[in-house]
A = this chain, B = another copy of it.
Amino acid sequence: MGILVVGSVALDSVKTPFGVREEVLGGSATYFSVAASYFTDVSMVAVVGSDFPEKHISFLRNKGIDTSGLQRQQGNTFRWKGEYGSDLNTCTTLDTQLNVFASFSPKLLSAHCSQEYLFLGNIDPDLQRSVLEQVKRPRLIACDTMNYWIENTRESLLKTLSKIDLLIINDSEAQRLANELNILQAARKILNLGPRILVIKRGEYGALMFSPKSVFSVPGLPMEEVLDPTGAGDSFAGGLMGYLAASGLSDDSAMRKAVVFGSVMASFNVMDFGPQRLGSLTYPEIESRYREFHRISSFEDIPRNPFSEERNP
């Protein structure tokens, strides 16, 4: 089944301890789409300016991504400039030029209104709901957000959260959204706001998934080549949703595999600047990395003792 993603397409200028890149292809819809494209059909809804290089559109189309919902408007494309600290865990935004993204109002083509999987990238929660008003109820609606919306448009964000199935955010966003430092308590509060499932990304430390009945934790893969974390969160969401849409499954076991596929795509993404490494994968490489995640995190359970006090669970 196919996925519709609504989000940003940007030109990013990034500095990390390992290099500098000017105006590389970026944005939440970009990273999400490229990651998900290895699993299933993806259609993106976003906006770019008249200055947007044609080669980037070719790159997306070559990944099989449906760009018919990528509007081109008079003006400049959204630009973001950021610098990462020495351990890559902190990022300072040096400049944000919204440009044509400032007046982005997602208008869905009729072909896009009946997609079964929907990802609402990190945009104004009012716009996220305007998308929900245009679609036939998808099988699964996932959503991202950020501290800016949590702080400045909380009421609108809460309305959006009441209408979605799956929220994918990072740990500081979860803490801010729940007003709670303890991550388990924060997760419980967020699950009461609407989403059935919450996935919390923790950068190099991996990810947690919470549902009312289950907690799942996948570690980060210790890696030598980490050049640029930009887009890791959206690549994660793309791998996760990609696996769910391709398999059509939604039980706990499939959700866990989906979180691992998300981690796999994020782990490839950070190996180079922009979506370069992410865009040049083969599916066997993805499977091989998945097995690596399994290898580093598996250990034997201990047998149940029939005489212990657990015997009647």
Point out the residues of chain B lying under 8 angstroms from A219, CB to CB: 206, 208, 217-219, 297
Question: Looking at the complex, which one of B217, B299, B301 makes contact with A216 (CB distance below 8 Å)?
Answer: B299
B217 close to A297 (CB less than 8 A): yes
Number of copies: 2
Point out the residues of chain B lying under 8 angstroms from A216, CB to CB: 296-297, 299
The proximity string for A residues 172-206 relative to B, scoring 1 for CB distances below 8 Å and 0 otherwise, is: 00000000011111010000000000000010111
Q: Is A224 an interface residue (CB 8 A)?
A: yes
Chain A residues with a Cβ closer than 8 Å to the other chain, count: 48
Question: Looking at the complex, which one of B181, B256, B283 makes contact with A299 (CB distance below 8 Å)?
Answer: B256
B297 close to A309 (CB less than 8 A): no
Point out the residues of chain B lying under 8 angstroms from A300, CB to CB: 253, 256-257
Q: Is A86 an interface residue (CB 8 A)?
A: yes
B296 close to A310 (CB less than 8 A): no
Chain B residue nearest in CB terms to A301: B294
Q: Is the interface of A mostly helix, strand, loop or mixed?
A: mixed
Chain B residue nearest in CB terms to A175: B87
In the complex, which residues 250-265 of chain A have their Cβ closer than 8 Å to any Cβ of chain B?
A: 253, 256-257, 259-260
In the complex, which residues 45-67 of chain A have their Cβ closer than 8 Å to any Cβ of chain B?
A: none
Point out the residues of chain B lying under 8 angstroms from A68, CB to CB: none
Q: Is A215 an interface residue (CB 8 A)?
A: yes
* Contact A297-B218, Cβ < 8 Å, known A87-B181, A287-B308: yes
Q: Is A223 an interface residue (CB 8 A)?
A: yes
Point out the residues of chain B lying under 8 angstroms from A19, CB to CB: none
Chain B residue nearest in CB terms to A200: B222
Q: Is A305 an interface residue (CB 8 A)?
A: yes
Q: Is A149 an interface residue (CB 8 A)?
A: no
Q: How far is the CA of A283 from the CA of B305 in the complex (A)?
A: 11
Q: Is A226 an interface residue (CB 8 A)?
A: yes
Q: Is A290 an interface residue (CB 8 A)?
A: yes
Question: Looking at the complex, which one of B208, B222, B257 makes contact with A208 (CB distance below 8 Å)?
Answer: B222
Chain B residue nearest in CB terms to A187: B222
Can you add 4 more A-B contacts, CB < 8 Å, to A187-B222, A259-B299, A284-B308?
A183-B204, A257-B302, A283-B308, A294-B301
Which residue numbers of A lie inside 8 Å of B, CB to CB? 86-87, 181-185, 187, 202, 204-206, 208, 215-220, 222-224, 226, 253, 256-257, 259-260, 282-284, 287-288, 290-291, 294-302, 305, 308-310
